[in-house]
Amino acid sequence: MSIQVRNIRKTFGDFVALDDVSLDFPTGELVALLGPSGCGKTTLLRIIAGLEQAESGQVLLDGDDASGTHVRERQVGFVFQHYALFRHMSVFDNVAFGMRMKPRGQRPSERQIRDKVHELLDLVQLDWLADRFPAQLSGGQRQRIALARALAVEPRVLLLDEPFGALDAKVRKELRRWLRKLHDELHITSIFVTHDQEEALEVADRVVLMDRGHVEQIGTPEEVYRQPATPFVYGFLGSVNFFHGRVEDNALRVGDDVLPSAQQEFDAGSEVIAFARPHELDLLADAHANTGVAARVTRILAFGVTARIELDGLNGASGQHFEVELTQQRVAELNLAEGQAVRLIPSHLKVFERNGITGATA
């Protein structure tokens, strides 16, 4: 089933949680709503489920306006961050709950319920836990039971609110691979909320980036990572270095320093902000070169496959910190030492106009 939201607006007192948000979720896709806390992603998910009421705007389920449809008739499956399993019921009863609550006419027989519950527990690979109580399960097991419970009512869409947020790093990683596999088997339209960019990029077919009640960018993980549309997206997906500067002919002036960069999009003299990922920066050992931004090496972390160099800006970029990723070979070539003054040269720069965006990147 497809989901569309149209011009959704929601405020809590003076705080605008969602400001005129419109989105399309195509049938059968697994979409991630990604953003920092307070960006409105959970609120949007709860509005789609019907657990929260939007002030204006519409939610269309399969093209029909769902505003007048009660939560229990929307046929959505909802998975909560803290599982929300019924603590006084066994795993079996938890999963059977949705079927047992159906009106008498539509309710399956106890035998059908039993078969269905075991089928679902098999699906989440936890059939052997049917008689346990939630308190006796680990976090990862609880969340899988919660998912089985949500699937028991054969929902048309699956909504997951930070489903792995309360789990430790290892279990998280395991579960997210497992969720992807499950989605590939079931092909149910799913939306999951997360603030973990790695999780979103790894699991989702499509990522919706949100910030402060607005949608910043929509695209495949590849698209949003390779071609960030806004400074916010650039900064949110992975580590980033940035330079405040002014456009000159074939160069970017950062304070007293100059970065070589051919800019066609911007007129000479416009104030811009330029981004570079750590691996897109190189160092010049000659601190007196007439190109590059002056910086001082503060730390060299050389234990990985690549080495990470941390630097403090000098001159034009003083007070700023930079992070550069170099091959071990390059570090040996440069013969770097902590405290050494160097120059930063970007191999690639993504430039945005500075007007009105300073807040988003500061």
The least CB distance from residue 255 to another protein, in Å, is 46
Q: How many residues bind another protein (CB under 8 A)?
A: 33
Q: Which is nearer to another protein, 89 or 218 (CB)?
A: 89
Q: Does 136 bind another protein (CB under 8 A)?
A: yes
Span interacting with another protein, options 28-36, 141-149, 207-215, 251-259, rule CB under 8 A: 141-149
Q: In whole angstroms, how far apart are CA 83 and each of 116, 134, 135, 144, 165?
A: 21, 10, 11, 9, 10
Query: Identity (one letter) of the amino acid at 44?
Result: L
Query: Identity (one letter) of the amino acid at 29?
Result: E
Q: Which is nearer to another protein, 134 or 231 (CB)?
A: 134
The least CB distance from residue 172 to another protein, in Å, is 14
Q: Which is nearer to another protein, 101 or 186 (CB)?
A: 101
Q: Which is nearer to another protein, 145 or 215 (CB)?
A: 145
For residues 145 and 122, is the Cβ–Cβ distance under 8 A? no
Instruction: List, in sequence order, every residue forming a beta bridge with 323; answer none if it has no partner.
Output: 310
For residues 153 and 75, is the Cβ–Cβ distance under 8 A? yes
Using CB under 8 A, which residues numbered 57 to 116 contact another protein? 71-73, 76-78, 80, 82-88, 97-98, 101-102
Q: Does 131 bind another protein (CB under 8 A)?
A: no
To 5 degrees, how large is the angle CA 45–CA 65–CA 69? 75
CA pair distance 203, 174, nearest whole angstrom: 11
Q: Which is nearer to another protein, 135 or 362 (CB)?
A: 135
Q: Which is nearer to another protein, 171 or 284 (CB)?
A: 171
Using CB under 8 A, which residues numbered 165 to 194 contact another protein? 166
Using CB under 8 A, which residues numbered 9 to 68 contact another protein? 49, 51
**What residues contact residue 330 under an 8 Å CB cut-off, 6+ apart?**
282, 307
x/- map, 226-255, another protein, by CB under 8 A? ------------------------------
H or E element: which one contains 54?
none
For residues 15 and 22, is the Cβ–Cβ distance under 8 A? no
**What residues contact residue 174 under an 8 Å CB cut-off, 6+ apart?**
140
Query: How many of the other CB atoms lie within 10 Å of CB of 79?
Result: 23
Residues lying near another protein in the complex (CB under 8 A) are found at: 49, 51, 71-73, 76-78, 80, 82-88, 97-98, 101-102, 133-136, 138-139, 142, 146, 149-150, 152-153, 166
